[in-house]
Structure 1
């Protein structure tokens, strides 16, 4: 079937980047939670129950707000950290840094920080010729060995349209951490989802890198009203989604977004690493260090193949002319490190499918493996998917002659 792709240029970070220049108007205040509150079931993430301990923390939060001229506007339990997080609005003309410094020295407060802005990382490059990226990783050959079966991936992003024909039945759960409105389908989240888990062999559209993985579509970002795929997030919505992903014991977290260093998010990423969850982050080409969370320790930082950002241990993956899903029965070509990260999340799912007990260190080593062909033709850190799968499965899947030569083995 011949597909006609609708082309577009994404003005991805303009409005979101502008939002980051505005000073924070809210702060996040963490209070220590008592042990019984930490034994939350799947339904905890809706609201507080009226236990004495929770009421006590609410009273403390309101007392803090009154003392420091704030207003409590929201709250969320963070059992992965043993905390409850309260959102408090600053009074007009108040400095977030000054208030958080005062709060941090209050004995009732575990920690405090400004509520910070983040944005997704779709590209804004000129249009390129259609080049199916599946060819780069020999996807059909990889799928003969693994498809991501039984691997749970949390996509922390804007909303995903599970009604697209390529995503029908591919999304096991949708949650909205942005607001109390209904879950909604949005561009960036749907595009990232298609690259990871689009249905294979259904006669339409594309095949995801891990079509049999289980995708949790956690809406922590919202599409901006400029008609592009640009989406904004903040540290509170992201923290809520990360906490939920930890609670659900996912295997992979995809973060195709960037923003400032954030202590609360760092702690949640540390908790993910402790649970052996692979966290994949998109490199921000506009940030000298690649941006957070890609620059944070333990995160698999992924940039496009043409990126020149110098990030320690960065992986390069296809980031140009990637066909993927859009809301409705639509597909398009996209560019940007958001989508390179999505491809790597799919590849990690294949590796976990092949080796469910793989450690994060072994996963890192596999993603940096090389075939003899890769040593000649690829940039030093460009992912060699065939070599990664060969290292984990201990057998050749594609590029067999080069793979065995690099391993010093006879070709079977």
Structure 2
């Protein structure tokens, strides 16, 4: 008999990532800005429109006395911009408010840092069961009973996380995914940890982190989450996932020491089959998006996040996000 565990999956959501414990001192070096474009910029297309947006950003920087550098376009006319230096989240919010007060700006907010949410209880494996209560545990989800009706065959679940690693309990589960972890603000690939930027290789090179003299090992979190969702049953190995016949779409948005919310937003849109600038269309749209993630402390749901959630839900996807980690309210 295979050992079995069940995941306590967070809230099924029209909600966004809840705040988690701050790391990096709650620092970010990026903002996301939506310009209130003049008619000429809004009507333009292609290189002409891009030039107009770059010029508008330069003019905004001059008006606000801020050095703002365009990183890339994001969804729905949002633009990811780089600050000269990393600042605290509170300072980034103050800068965003200052920028949003400009008549040429429709909205602005920090590009929050995002981290994989790792369970800390060493006995997690013995606390939950796939059996129905009370035969298993009071929190059992009766997955075994559900398997009589469906084991998830035909379902595609996007795991937006640290990427994938080969594992025998997930043989046959993986679909071709994508890596959304791009270069750091200084142009290096320290966060990506794979020597390059966005590409079709969703492999997890490790998310180990060394900060303040403390080194934390890689979590391989994306593979662990994928196993809870769809580890193959009946193969005499490891565990059984909640939906052991489902397929996993690995979407990498978290790298060394975390990632950026703007990458997570693009990953969500791509996973649901929506267009993302500069990225090929996803041929395997997922109808379930799993985000076992948390972010630097902030509002439960910003305008930037809510717009993305609304769009993927409108596209037919269900968003499942971590909730309750770090002893925070739900």
TM-score under structure 2 length normalisation: 0.66
Which residue of structure 1 aligns with residue 110 of structure 2? 114
Higher relative helix content:
1
Q: Which residue of 1 aligns with 2:288?
A: 252
Describe the SS at the equivalent of 1:125: coil
- Distance (whole Å) between structure 1 residues aligned to residue 27 and residue 148 of structure 2: 51
Residue matched to 2:68: 71
Query: Is 2:219 the partner of 1:193?
Result: no
Equivalent residue pairs, number:
256
- Equivalent-residue separation in structure 2 for 1:194 and 1:203 (angstroms): 15
Residue 80 of structure 2 contacts residue 262 of structure 2 at CA under 8 Å; is this kept in 1? no
Higher relative contact order (CA 8 A, sep 6+): 2
Contact 1:252 1:279 in 2 (8 A): yes
2:147 is the counterpart of 1:146: no
Q: 1:117 to 1:26 in 2, by over 3 A?
A: same
Query: What are the equivalent positions in structure 2 for 1:23-102 lying under 5 Å apart?
Result: 23-31=27-35, 34=42, 51-67=47-63, 68-78=65-75, 82-90=76-84, 95-102=91-98
Contact 1:258-1:284 within 8 A present in 2 as well: no
Q: What residue number does 1:212 align with?
A: 245
Is the CA contact 1:157–1:188 (under 8 Å) kept in the aligned structure 2? Answer: yes
* The structure with more radius of gyration: 1
**CA 1:93–1:177: 2 relative to 1, 3 Å:** closer
| Contact preservation (8 Å) 1:29, 1:88 | no
Match of 2:175 among 168, 172, 175: 172
What secondary structure sits across from 1:171 in the alignment?
A: coil
* Aligned-partner Cα distance in 2 for 1:97–1:129: 40
- Which structure 2 residues correspond to residues 4-403 of structure 1 after superposition, within 5 A? 17-19=21-23, 21-31=25-35, 34=42, 51-67=47-63, 68-78=65-75, 82-90=76-84, 95-127=91-123, 130=126, 133-135=129-131, 136-161=140-165, 163-179=166-182, 180-181=196-197, 183-185=202-204, 186=206, 187-224=220-257, 232-246=258-272, 247=274, 249-259=285-295, 260-261=298-299, 262-290=302-330
Structure 1 pair 184/54, CA: closer, same or farther in 2 (3 Å)? same
Task: For residue 134 of structure 1, report the CA deviation from its aligned partner.
Answer: 2.5
Change (3 A) 1:253 1:137: same
Structure 2 runs not aligned, ≥5 long: 4-19, 132-139, 183-195, 207-219, 275-281
- The answer on whether the counterparts of 1:25 and 1:89 sit within 8 Å (CA) in structure 2 is yes
Q: What secondary structure is seen at the aligned counterpart in 1 of 2:164?
A: coil
> What is the TM-score normalised by the length of structure 1?
0.54
Do the aligned partners of 1:76 and 1:240 also contact (CA within 8 Å) in 2? Answer: no
**CA-to-aligned-CA distance 1:313-354 (integer Å, 9 cap, x gap):** xxxxxxxxxxxxxxxxxxxxxxxxxxxxxxxxxxxxxxxxxx
CA positional deviation for 1:51: 3.0
| Alpha-carbon contact 2:29-2:84 (below 8 Å) kept | yes
Q: Secondary structure at the match of 2:149?
A: coil
Which residue of structure 2 aligns with residue 318 of structure 1? none
